[in-house]
Chain A
């Protein structure tokens, strides 16, 4: 497959760029933060995104979607990374849609996919429990109870948890605390009895929550996929999210570089525009090269998800590892090359370093994915 965007994806990119620059620039995130918005995202913007078909980008046509695929979803995520637009796009339109489309039964698809496509339902994945991403480490228990299950446990770092209508929760139905076998996935309505969702205040001003499950009673039809065999589906859902996050970080990294290069062309010191200094030129040129590599592996990964989703794990880890480190480098270099002004809250660059730090950590940081890559390579 050619490593260029199709005409269709190119048009989507232009449309997304234009819409986000006009309707959801960095100043929107700043405002959400400063006004302590309870939702943590702008519902009008979300509605407009749904009308443009973004929320249905991975939903099959049979369920009201446009099913454009992961490359298209990545194009949107990348542009959102440029404007740091706060929205449940990744948790819902990418991960929620992937979970239900690939692993849901007909009833579950029928219930959720049209609402996801229409921007009416928000979903969130509740997977992590500890300080670091460890999807196989599941202490949350789901015990058989009557015709269904009873869930007990705690989840943290649940992106968009407090605004979600439905949580996709990993819980243990068998096996030891760190085993892949015995993990099951459950669709848990946000208002189910025993579910407590507490919003966490994050460094990037984006949504994250701690979820407590206390004797949450679910029917058997709340299981997504097969009981005890939820780990593979979980990884597939995570991989879709990881690739989307990588695309988002690619956009953020490009924006950091472009803003920095513009600044280098304006700022004068010692009587010269500082962009004439080789010390800064080489930092910028090196960063450019790193970002080009990141862009390439992200595109390759998104294409792989579209063509062969069951064989994408290694590429996804490579992309998340690479883009995580590249985006963090970009944000750090952006601050350094902006000098003092880059440290001020008034300037936007600070929003980038914060978001990129969180995006890099979400669903496995660079270290996690470097290690996972090595494991998949059998060393």
Chain B
């Protein structure tokens, strides 16, 4: 950073201070469009959080700010939804699925990455990577049709097989039994390729002389993986863990909304915080309550990220995010 030293009245210093100001000005204009977007679309709604503490309704003139100002304070009344049994279920679902998927995702994708890095055929390794990454680029709307092709009550492959075998066809979109498994498969199907590739990139970054040194010391391949590969990708594992723990109260809306076809009878196993907030607003137009739920989600999420990061910094300062 150039400091402006007006105390030293040398001509070229004065010139450079003007140049510095000019530079600051032009660089600021570059950042401006993005900054305006951030202020309007990200920061302005943060003030909208007051809706969570008010009984928001329409007044005259019916503009947003006027409504906010005129609506009366209700304190924590909007947070009373926390007492309802539905809330317990949705929190259980959100945390349960997230924890299960963080563990499964970590173990399987690290295993896949190690396998891919050990293949002698580069071509096949590349092919697997390409195929595995493909689902990541599809939307949940498209994926929901893939699931429908297997589960559709009238023509879906599985119910049809059941009928052909003389069994009673499962009505998947009304029967909660299989959904924890189906959602888990969908999540892994979509995201494993992506996380495997991330870990693979980390593995390729490990200095190969470490493996040679280990081999010279008589380490078997399995020992090399344990003592060289896994420590080598530890920063990546830690970073992805923090990010996932920080998002532990967030769920993939599309997965929980589109894949089960928004089916009401599946709510006990598919309702998560994100769908709850959306449905609270879309179905009942309860702005106060849905804002309160959304605010809690954001707030707890922030604490989770900061907490996880602080923890990581204690264990291994270099791996922390900020």
Whether chains A and B associate is: no
Interface of A toward B, CB cutoff 8 Å: none
